[in-house]
Amino acid sequence: MTQQRCNWVSSEALAQYHDEEWGVPSRDDQHLFEMLVLEGAQAGLSWSTILNKRAGYRRAFADFDIDKVARFTPKHVDALVADESIVRHRGKIEAAINNARAVQQIQAEHGSLANFIWSFVNQTPIQNEWASYKHAPASTEISDALSKALKRYGCKFVGSTICYAFMQAIGMVNDHETTCMCRARCVALGKKGRNRKAG
């Protein structure tokens, strides 16, 4: 039997990301922050471009340590704009630092970024059944609400479409195609997380 993947997987790097990470429920604040930054950086670019620069991003953004990134100064921004290992877009770089500070506020008020983010799906992943990934929406009412809530905390590059891609990436929504070999595992992981409080 051939192992079938979602039809958007078109390279080795995408296959690895798809098989190991995409759609797997994540409640780790550092990983959630990383995905928020990367999804924002992707705006107008391909996900392959971002994946190819992921190691550069981890090095440039202190491995996505929220408190460290929140302390970045304008000098850091100038250095990052010159760093070819990431997307050299001043607005996106400044947004990542700004968003780290917003996440600190969210953590202070909600206990963790995970508690806040996952509250939008009642702590339980949404399980979709798409025959083709092309049927998946670009945004939903939930991604609209998440986008608005993040913007209230001052987050940038968190429009509804970016938020929906973020939700897919961290497993808040399982958009693996019905024929995809990874779908069942993500469904099972979603059920496992249902009975415990995210903390």
- Quickly state the pLDDT bin for 193 (edges 50, 70, 90): low
- Quickly state the pLDDT bin for 2 (edges 50, 70, 90): low
- pLDDT value of position 154: 97
Tell whether 103 is covered by a domain. Answer: yes
- pLDDT value of position 199: 34
Tell whether 187 is covered by a domain. Answer: yes
CATH number at residue 87: 1.10.340.30
Q: Domain limits at 98? A: 12-196
Tell whether 1 is covered by a domain. Answer: no
- The answer to whether residue 184 scores a pLDDT higher than 60 is yes
Catalytic amino acids?
A: 17, 39, 47
- The answer to whether residue 38 scores a pLDDT higher than 90 is yes
Q: Which residues contact 2 (CB under 8 A, 6 or more apart)?
A: none
- pLDDT value of position 190: 87
- pLDDT value of position 140: 96
DSSP result, 31-95: HHHHHHHHHHHHTTS-HHHHHHTHHHHHHHTGGG-HHHHHT--HHHHHHHHT-TTS---HHHHHH
Which has more confidence, 179 or 198? 179
Average pLDDT of the chain is: 93
Token pair belonging to 129:
């059944």
- The answer to whether residue 192 scores a pLDDT higher than 90 is no
pLDDT (tens digit per residue) in 156-176: 999 999 999 999 999 999 999
Domain tally for the chain? Answer: 1
- Ligand-binding annotation for 76, yes or no, is no
| pLDDT mean over 90-99 | 97
- pLDDT value of position 191: 83
- Ligand-binding annotation for 186, yes or no, is no
| pLDDT mean over 6-23 | 94
* Percent of residues, the chain, with pLDDT higher than 90: 90
pTM above 0.85, yes or no: yes
Contact (Cβ atoms closer than 8 angstroms) between residue 176 and residue 183? yes
- Ligand-binding annotation for 110, yes or no, is no
Tell whether 49 is covered by a domain. Answer: yes
Tell whether 5 is covered by a domain. Answer: no
φ/ψ (deg, to 5) at 46 = -90, 155
